[in-house]
Structure 1
Amino acid sequence: MAERNNLIQFLVLVWFSAALVHGMERHYKFNVVMKKTTRLCCSKSIVTVNGKFPGPTIYAREDDTVIVKVVNHVNYNITLHWHGVRQMRTGWADGPAYITQCPIQPGQAYTYNFTVTGQRGTLLWHAHILWLRATVYGAIVILPKPGVPYPFPHPHQEKLLIIGEWWKSDVEAVVNEALRSGLAPNVSDAHTINGRPGPVSSCNRRGFNLSVKKGKMYLLRFINAALNDEVFVRIAGHKFTVVEVDSSYVKPFETDTILISPGQTTGAILSADHPDPAGRYLITVSPFMDAPIDVDKVSATAVLKYSGASAAVATVTTAPPPINATWVSNGFINSLRSLNSAAYPAQVPLEIDHSLFFTAGLGFNPCPSCPRKNKIVAYMNNVTFLMPEIALLQAHYYKIKGVFTDDFPARPPNEYNYTGQQPANLHTMEGTRVYRLGYNSTVQIVLQDTAMIAPESHPVHLHGFDFFAVGRGLGNFDPVKDPKKFNLVDPVKRNTIGVPTGGWAAIRFRADNPGVWFMHCHLEVHTTWGLKMAFVVHNGKGPDQSLIPPPTDLPKC
């Protein structure tokens, strides 16, 4: 009944065609428009999809084909990224601007066409150009195939809780001023839950209410669509049973706090079993930052409300974890394990063809026009990525020369104590470099944080693939000792991984998806500064292992 109600709710946006061999076609039309809003006591126009904030939810089943026609009615260029969707051979639909496509220009349209293969759970979509994803985002819910149950008790209902960030000022003005000055942009003014912050200083706005019935179980689908902040989630008087992250099932475990980095999702079972069923219980979304970095410290709040509870009943409160609660973060991350069952095996690559070591951090490069004559930049392996003027996928497919070079280093050019004393020279190299992978080759990447300017956690997102998080630790990665502690049996499978502050994380995946695939820090400020790179994965043998030709309506630069 919950699924039927959700589909009815979005009939205005979606219509269904006849069944295909591999599933249903699900058609959506996304009109990108400006909408006047008064959230957080400030009236301004924001970019939205179909006038909704957050945007409409896409519902599909595993093996369905999703077709989304996007029409741009605003004065910004736009692209949409279907975050975490594998995009098997359909890189043209992935969405990052100037990586897989040129932007959809004002007054133009583009139809994204992709199939959700081998995935089920919670994902998100968002703008992938400029900082427009501050307001242009929404959920993707992939249900199991018909007749296939969840590998956990079926919930009474499913609820979406999308976490975001809010700026009182125009977001593009914020980032443009930062680029002009060469310094960091202003942090956001509040966090939000389903577009609402709850009461904040000088503004008593109504927050989101999560209604439940005594004795029922609910699947809560959490999405962190924030631009720059990792967050903790708590509900007073209740615990979660985590069952899924990033559209992959995990071994269930109980916790009172969920950690979600930007771009990550978490599915958790909540049992409405509090002894006082007439109560109201505070939901808090608070930032996590265990480095000397300025972040938005305003917690968003909502209320878990039992059916029949009076508005006059005092809300039971809960204190969020301290902002630097690394022990809480580590406890959550270390509890994540793939389900690794007969139906959902963890197929971890055991033999590795490409063993890569990528450092991530910040630096300073000369900027004659900036007030301080230099600017903050970010890098992988000391390369600050420069965005091309032609999409990399088009350049690769049509063999256009001069757009990129294929010499992204497999290791940093200079080895040093990455988490200790830093080099005196904080400059980086700049370029549009890619790393080439043969079809079906196996890849291990160790992502190492550095203390350049300041150590900081980096939620790194890989497009086009899920990967296994086989290890993590503090300090410098030890290539002799640390691999002996890798979990190669049931590591969690993700599409976005948090590299710990002053530490490292190791991932493995199989390059079985031809195309050009972006990898970048999902902190929008770091992506803007250049903490990004791309992989070119070559075709295999035959059409089933090759990138499909580009669609006829692919936008032009």
Structure 2
Amino acid sequence: MAAALSKSFCLGYYFLLLCLIGFISHPAKAAVKKYLFDIQVKNVSRLCHAKPIVTVNGRFPGPTVYVREGDRVQVNVTNHAKYNMSIHWHGLKQFRNGWADGPAYITQCPIKTGHSYTYDFNVTGQRGTLWWHAHIFWLRATVYGAIVIMPKPGTPFPFPQPHREETIILGEWWNNDVEEIEKQGSKLGLPPNASDAHTINGKPGTLFPCSEKHTFAMEVEQGKTYLLRIINAALNDELFFAIAGHNMTVVEVDAVYTKHFTTQAVLIAPGQTTNVLVQATQSPNRYFMAARPFMDAPLTVDNKTATAILQYKGIPNTVIPILPKLPAPNDTAFALSYNAKLRSLNSPQFPANVPLKVDRHLFYTIGLGINPCPSCLNGTRLTASLNNITFVMPQIGLLQAHYFNTKGIFRLDFPDNPPSPFNYTGVPLTANLGTTLGTRLSKIVYNSTVQLVLQDTNLLTVESHPFHLHGYNFFVVGTGIGNFDPKKDPAKFNLVDPPERNTVGVPTGGWTAIRFKADNPGVWFMHCHLELHTSWGLKTAFVVEDGVGPDQSILPPPKDLPPC
């Protein structure tokens, strides 16, 4: 009877829409949400001209995936573009199911032109804002979208119920084919050209030429509270975000609820998400929302500011919006202060289960270097490394090689510590310190607890690095500037309510310590989420062994897993 009623309701357009996006679900069992992703090239107009870009369903950004906690999701991806494709569901843990994780040549071979693959996964124990994006080459420049996971029915938010919510996706825009730009940079051995604009929901805003029609606007009503789901989909920039005249209350990061705090600006690294509450209690007017890069390293700052508009109901479009006061591009003090305020909610309903005992201590140094390159313009090529190892992508999926015990694809000897300790953040160094190329992974015992310290170095230059770990959330138990001191710094770790994330920024010239429990068997990628650094080799992977229990091993691969 209940199923018949649910079906009759969904026959109406309004209720059909609600069924599709997940606001109606059967209370007795999880719903199956199905999506079709058609990878296609479409002409899209931004700035002063249109250009063909790779899109999902012809949209930029792509469609939002709406689900509820506990749902099963099936996304059939058909590739009609000229490039191979894979989709990563960023932040979804994919328990025992790395086949649905998405990074090309790590958990799957890419979907070739003219072929399809269905990502089939469960959303378990997670709720909040995540996102999806292409995970091959630089294609995530245009192939990305939001994932909104609503709580189970009857479970309220641990903050005031908003009147309405809006997704805000921060990105970058290139006037030319980003893949060709990246290839040109590789041939020269130099960084590719920086983006031509930053975007908010795919639109650069009125501060850019020829962009009057390309400005996102959000209408609000006086006295109402709004939830903004903010995602940084930019390839290479940490971003500040602010709204003129309005404070924001942070309530969630990376789909984990936080203790609430109020701020005038948000700092968000590529790959991260942040949910904020905004109260429309200012004088009715038009206010700019704005985003621009944070860069406190001695490098060229890409200072392009994207804008959108928060507009009170009844205010005409002819009113000139007010600009917010964003932190300075090199405002390190704001960045450190902002990140220090992030704390897990750690309530009885949403506890912070921080590992207190550590089974495996890892210490990874982050280095930039210059390697010989006879085919490059100046005879050298910029590279990046972890513990002096520049990662080489395999030709078949690492998960497939691990599952079927295929020999010769990777080695399990990634070092737990750098081979040659040195003054990591001292005077700038130009040597590579013996950097080697290789597909070397680290094996982790199932259910063991891991502490990983990521240490920035001054090899060529210090720089901030947002690191993303697939398959897991982790607790950010400590961070600092300078060299990590294993005798003194652990005493200052927060083991009570540290922020729980899937992507964390390693500060410029500093370190970050994370902890996680290795309870998800499989092969899980870890990499810098600056696409420039990832393409230079700043990445590795963990092989988490199977456990002994019936639910502690990798699930079999799906029949439609793309071949290599």
In the alignment, the residues of structure 2 paired with residue 425 and residue 432 of structure 1 have an alpha-carbon distance, to the nearest angstrom, of: 22
Q: Within 2, Cα distance between the matches of 1:171 and 1:7?
A: 39
Q: Deviations over 1:244-291 (max 9, x none)?
A: 0000000000000000000000000001111x12x1111110110001
Equivalent position amino acid for 1:227 in 2: L
Alpha-carbon distance between aligned partners in 2 of 1:236 and 1:6, rounded to the nearest angstrom: 37
Which deviates further from its counterpart, 303-312 or 102-111? Answer: 303-312
Aligned to 2:308: 302
Is contact 2:22-2:67 (8 Å) kept?
no
Change (3 A) 1:21 1:8: closer
Please say if 1:109 is aligned against 2:99.
no
- Give the one of 331, 334, 338 matched to 1:325: 331
Deviations 1:185-228 (A, max 9, x none): 11101100000001234324331101111111111000000000
Corresponding pairs, count: 552
Q: 1:16 to 1:398 in 2, by over 3 A?
A: farther
1:547–1:16: structure 2 CA closer, same or farther, 3 Å change rule? farther
State the partner residue of 1:238: 246
SS of the counterpart of 1:316? coil
Q: Does the aligned pair in 1 maintain the 2:343–2:499 contact within 8 Å? A: yes
Q: Would you say the 8 A contact 2:429–2:460 is kept in 1?
A: no
1:139-288 to 2 correspondences below 5 Å: 139-206=146-213, 207-274=215-282, 276-277=283-284, 279-288=285-294
Please, what TM-score do these two structures have when normalized by structure 2? 0.95
One-letter amino acid of the counterpart of residue 370, structure 2: F
Q: What's 1:360 paired with?
A: 366
Residue identity matched to 2:268? I
Query: Hey, what's the Cα distance between the residues in 2 that align with 1:78 and 1:117?
Result: 26
Question: 5+ residue gaps in structure 1?
Answer: none
Aligned partner of 2:356: which letter?
L
Deviation readout 1:380-430 (Å, 9 max, x if unpaired): 111000000011000000000000000001001100000013555225111
How many percent identity over aligned positions? Answer: 58
Q: Distance in 1 between matches of 2:365 and 2:127?
A: 32
Q: Cα gap change, 1:295/1:51 in structure 2, threshold over 3 Å: closer, same or farther?
A: farther
* CA displacement 1:469-513 (0-9 Å, x = unmatched): 000000000001100000000000000000000000000000000
CA offsets, 1:82-124, max 9 Å, x none? 0000000110000000000000000000000111111110000
Cα–Cα, structure 1 residues 423 and 325, in superposed 2: closer, same or farther, change >3 Å? Answer: closer
Aligned to 2:489: 482
Structure 1 counterpart of 2:409, from 397, 403, 411 = 403
Query: Does 485-494 or 112-121 show the bigger shift?
Result: 112-121
Aligned AA (1:366)? P
For residues 552 and 159 of structure 2, what CA distance do their matches in structure 1 show? 34
Q: What is the letter of the counterpart of residue 457 of structure 1?
A: S
Please say if 1:133 is aligned against 2:140: yes
Work out the CA distance in 2 between the residues paired with 1:12 and 1:151: 24
Of 31, 36, 42 in structure 1, the residue corresponding to residue 49 of structure 2 is: 42
Distance (Å, rounded) in 2 between the aligned partners of 1:132 and 1:62: 29
Change (3 A) 1:7 1:251: farther
User: Which residue number corresponds to residue 39 of structure 2?
Assistant: 32
- Distance in 1, Cα, partners of 2:442 & 2:208: 48
**Structure 1 match to 2:426:** 420
Hey, what's the Cα distance between the residues in 2 that align with 1:8 and 1:321?
44
Alpha-carbon distance in structure 1 between the residues aligned to 2:40 and 2:513: 40
Shift of 1:303: 0.9
For 1:412, what is the secondary structure of its paired residue?
A: coil
Q: Deviations over 1:102-161 (max 9, x none)?
A: 000000000001111111100000000010000000000001000000000110001000
**Which 10-residue stretch deviates more, 311-320 or 246-255?**
311-320
**Residue by residue, what CA displacement relative to the aligned partner does 1:509-557 show, whole Å, maximum 9, x if unpaired?**
0000000000000000000000000000011123311110000000000
Deviation (angstroms), 1:355: 0.5
User: How much has 1:8 moved relative to structure 2?
Assistant: 6.5
Question: How far off its partner does 1:349 sit?
Answer: 0.3
- Secondary structure of 1:497 counterpart: strand
How far 1:328 moved relative to its partner?
Answer: 1.4
Structure 1 residues 555 and 42: alpha-carbon distance in aligned structure 2, compared to 1, 3 A threshold: same
Q: Name the structure 2 match of 1:394.
A: 400
Shift of 1:366: 1.2
Residues in 2 aligned to 1:439 and 1:212: alpha-carbon distance in whole angstroms: 49
Are 1:14 and 1:29, in contact at CA under 8 Å, matched by a contact in 2? no
List per-residue Cα deviations over 1:428-478 (Å, max 9, x = no partner): 111000000111100000000011111000000000000000000000000
Distance 1:173 1:416, change over 3 A: same
User: Per the alignment, do residues 382 and 20 of structure 1 end up closer, same or farther by CA in structure 2, a change over 3 Å counting?
Assistant: farther
Tell me by how many angstroms 1:347 deviates.
0.2
